[in-house]
Every structure is written in C-alpha cells, then in structure tokens.
A and B are shown apart, each in its own frame.
Chain A
C-alpha cells in the first residue's frame, strides 16, 4: 500500500456567501499524479488555494478537512502553515513570469525557501540553487542564477519556478495549469521534466488542467469537477476508455483529435457553465445534459462507486455509454 500524502475531505469554500467549492474530496498517494480537470469557474483553483492556505481574502473555507499525511492543515496556526509552505507543500502557477519576483535574481528566489526552511544560510544556498537549475535543465545555470526573471524566456521561468518549488523536496506539489501559457514544444519539455522529477523524488502531484491531452500524458488518476463538485473520478485509462458521467463523456468527445475525421460536426455541450451563485437545483449539469429527467432536476446524485474502478455522480451512468 502506498502512503496517502494528501487527503481532501468534504471541502467547502464560499465567496460572499455563494459556494464555489461544495463538498470536494479526493486523495493523492506518494509518487502519484492526480489530475483535477474542469472548466473555468468549476472550483479547481479554489480547491488548490485552500490546500495551500492561500485563499483570496474574499473567500472562506466553510467546511471540510485537508490532511497532509496525518496533519490537519486547517488546525495549524498561520506560522505553522507558513513553515509547511515551500517546504512540504509547494505550488507552481500558470503565469511563470508574473509569479516570480521581478526584483530578485532567479538564484536568490530559488534558494530562498531553502534558507528559510532549512536554515542553510551559512552554507552555500547559491550552489544549491545552481544545482537545482541544472536539475530542471536550464543551460548555463551559473549565469542564469544571477539573472532576473525578465532576462529569461517563459519556458525558462517555468523551469525556475519548478526548481523553486522542488528545492526542499516537497511531499506534495500542486501544479495549476503549469503549461497553459507555454508553446507545445516547451510544454513537452516541462511535462517530461515533471515526470522525471516525480520518478526521482516520489513527490505527489496535484495537476490542475483543462487540457485532456496533458491529462492523458501525465495523470495516474483523474477527478473531473463541475460547478464546485467532483462529478467523476477514475484511473486515467478507465476514464478515457469509458465515462460514467455525461459531462465527462461530452467533454472528451468535443475535442477535435489528430486522428479524427476532418470537418465532421463535433458534438457540443448545449448552454454554458452556470455562474457561481446560480447553480441549478438537483444535478448541476442537468440543464445541459441530454439524459436529464425528473430525478436529475430534483435530487443531487451522490458520488458513488462504478464498476469497481471509479466514482461518478449521475443517476443515469448506465446510459452514458450509448448517449452519443
């Protein structure tokens, strides 16, 4: 049995009284990559921020628990949480250039968490930063170490941010759309790098993305979110082979594929993602769902086991396969 690194249990987050995350739960094991998939506004980034303890001021956690190993993160004081962040818990963001401090050299930013957490200020943090830059594949690390973020390309800034996140060998890395702002050839480099580091360090990764190609490439397990809830969860092969929730099924079928039929009409999902505070009663996907009927409008389906491998929250999972 592998060790569970992160356990999120019935997490609830609200902004101004409106729920944005509504009872989300999942686990990530050591060395595992769990992909959290969903469209903008589904609550995936808010889930990540509440794990990190970095929720924006307007948002409050209104329920649930987040456990890192055995530690309940929300039972800790601010000081104790700060000790974990950057050490056992690290996060990389979508906009690498905007997320780095423009007034600090790359090397100092990378070494900062080492200095803060490991108190190795007396030893040589610069040397550690250079070694880390080398590890993430940045050429001429001795030169790059003393440069500022504006002197580096977007791909290199993302590598630097990964170096920064991994220098203390965190148990959990949260990657929020880490390659969305990058070109495909650079994306390929960053994904390879994350896979290699995971294999070498056993870091658990929570990978937040909306790109199903990235999910297929990286994830061990996938959790799909819609309107603040996880609506389906399964191992990656299982979920791509057969979906138990109509939203997952439609989401996968709407993507044009390199091996698809050119110019064929793509299936599409009617309507739009509902706004926060405007979630429909019953199953939140029901206004857009071709399978929706009376029970779907009345009662929210629970996330329940399907075919031994996964979970889905749908009253009509048995009809999902035949719906398209």
Chain B
C-alpha cells in the first residue's frame, strides 16, 4: 500500500475556558481530542457529525489555521504542525479550503479574475500575462465563461460564486481540498451542479478531498470513506458503503436513521431511532464513552472507560464497548 497523502495522528485541539483570577483557564474544551485519520491520493474522506462535534476545528487544524495542542499532521510524508513558517507556506500550495458560504468568501471589491489570481500573486507564480491565462483556464475548468473574469462577485449567483471559490482554490494546483460544507448554503436545485463539478474535478485532476458535512445523503453519494465524529472523537470510520449499510456504532446508526428519506412509503414504514437529549456540552463531557448519555445500549462499563477504535472489518473501525469490544474473542 502506498503512503497516504495526508496522515493525522492523535491530533488534539483544546481551547482554554478563561475565568479564573488573571484570566487563568478554569477548564478546557476538548474540541478535537486524539483523532487519527488518513487520506490516500485521489480519495475522498467525509467527516460527519453534528454541530459542535469538532469537525470544522479538525479541518482548520489540518490546514494550520488553528494550532493543535498535540499530535501530528503529515502531508506527503512531511510533518507540518511543527514545521517552520516557510514550510507551512509552501504547503498552502498543496492544500486549499472551500468554505460553506461563497458570498462571504469572496472580496466584493475585487473582480473575480483578481480573486482567482490572488493565490498565484501571493506565491509569485508566473507573469501577469501567465496569471491571466491561468484564470481563463480555471474559469472554464469550473464551467464559467472566461469573459466574466472582469466582473465583481455581486454579478453572480450563489452557485456561480461557489464555482469561483473552487477555481481560486485550484489556482495553485493543490493535491488536497478541504471542503467545509460546500453545498449547504446553496439552493437545492444548484447543489447537484456543484457536487457534479467536484466529482468531475476529482476525476480529471486526481484530487483528494476532505469533505466536511452534516448531510449524510450527500456524503453517501460523494465520499469513498467516512469518519463519524462525536464530541471531539472519531466513533467509527470505514468505507462509505460498509458504514452506511451496516453501521456498528450506535451513534452512526442513530444518525443514519434520523435522515428522512425522500420517499414517503419507505420513510413512514421504517423504524427510526430517535435519540434522547442533546449533545452534551463539550466543556463538560461525560466520563467514559462520550456518547453514553444518549446511547440506547449503554452499560456500566461505558461510564467507566473510553472505548478505543478497534477493527470491525476491512479498513473499518469502531469505538464501542458493546458492539466492538476491545478484547474481542477469537473466531
């Protein structure tokens, strides 16, 4: 097996809760608490979970927008968390992000051509003319007219702006794109256009994606592998088809069963697991398994120790004392 493009080991991002005398921390929010994940070349990994589970913080830490408290992130074999600023900077060529809201992601005073050329200018790539040519190439790559390069963002619809943001992210030929809810802010009739574009670009350019989403139907459609996150921890990871067909962790199961199917007969006849209560406060998580307060299967052991991720199939791991006991009997 070839080495993964991105490799995250035991990554931790803890935020202090200030409030003590002289602003001393009185506690910690463990937004990301010991996450391992790998993304292979050309692969898309979806990171799913509810708001507050730490998925966006994890994305930000991988990009270097948020300094991790601990752990390592390696890109193409090079450790990047503890690298110097220069190494970081050259890395930003290889890794780019697309945010949820294309309206706030574009500078309204720049023409879209200027916005798309900005990363090239920052990294001193090419002459002004070469940059203009690259902008033309990028605009047609994302399905926009090159003549539109001189227009300002307000001349474009939400879907077109997301295309512009994608073009800008691709300007430096990155290998990995972090897509943070790339279609959530778009109209339903536009979402499929952007999903089709992203899948097509992946095929043509061999891109790897870290796809952060809460929309499981989109994830099922889009991603090769999926990692389910709950309160800063991964609870299950595996191939999308396996995890969606036979979820092991009770949280994954509940999450999947909570997605309403766009089919009245199927939706109304199925047994839905409705979880009780809310996500506990990340400032005050339960002891043991973080899911214990909402888990229908919880046993005494779940309150005592945090379950590790253990293999439950090929490339498939889950962290559950009940469904995936660590000391699994052989056979």
Contact = CB atoms under 8 A, between A and B. Distances in A.
A57 interface: no
Given A40-B187, A188-B274, A189-B274, A257 B261 contact: yes
Interface stretch (B82-90, B188-196, B307-315): B188-196
Interface in A181-222: 183-189, 191-192, 210-217, 219
Contacts of B275: 185, 188-189
B140 interface: no
Interface string B154-167: 00010110000000
Residue picked from A252, A255, A256, most chain B C-beta under 10 Å: A256
Given A183-B50, A192-B274, A216 B263 contact: yes
A240 B260 contact: no
A272 interface: yes
A306 B146 CA distance: 44
Contacts of A250: 189
A217 B267 contact: yes
Contacts of A191: 260
Contacts of B272: 188, 192
A269 B189 contact: yes
A185 B272 CA distance: 10
B244 interface: yes
Interface string B211-227: 00010111011100000
A102 interface: no
A184 B267 contact: no
A139 B277 contact: yes
A257 B217 contact: yes
A30 interface: no
Contacts of B190: 268-269, 272
B220 A258 contact: yes
Contacts of A259: 261
Given A256-B218, A272-B159, A266 B192 contact: yes
A72 B263 CA distance: 36
Interface residues of B, number: 47
A229 to B, nearest CB: 16
Contact of A214 (B50, B187, B196, B260): B260
A268 B264 contact: no
A131 interface: no
A187 B187 contact: no
A219 B257 CA distance: 19
B305 interface: no
Interface string A216-251: 110100000000000000001100100000000011
B254 A185 contact: yes
Interface string A10-44: 00000000000000000000000000000110000
Interface of B: 50-51, 157, 159-160, 187-193, 195-196, 199-200, 214, 216-218, 220-222, 240-241, 244, 254-265, 267-268, 272, 274-279
Interface of A: 39-40, 139, 153, 155-156, 183-189, 191-192, 210-217, 219, 236-237, 240, 250-252, 254-260, 262-269, 272-273
11 contacts: A155-B278, A185-B258, A185-B275, A186-B278, A188-B257, A216-B268, A237-B265, A254-B192, A255-B192, A258-B216, A258-B261
Ordered nearest first, which 9 A-B pairs have the shortest CB separation? A213-B260, A256-B221, A266-B192, A183-B50, A254-B192, A212-B262, A188-B258, A269-B189, A217-B260
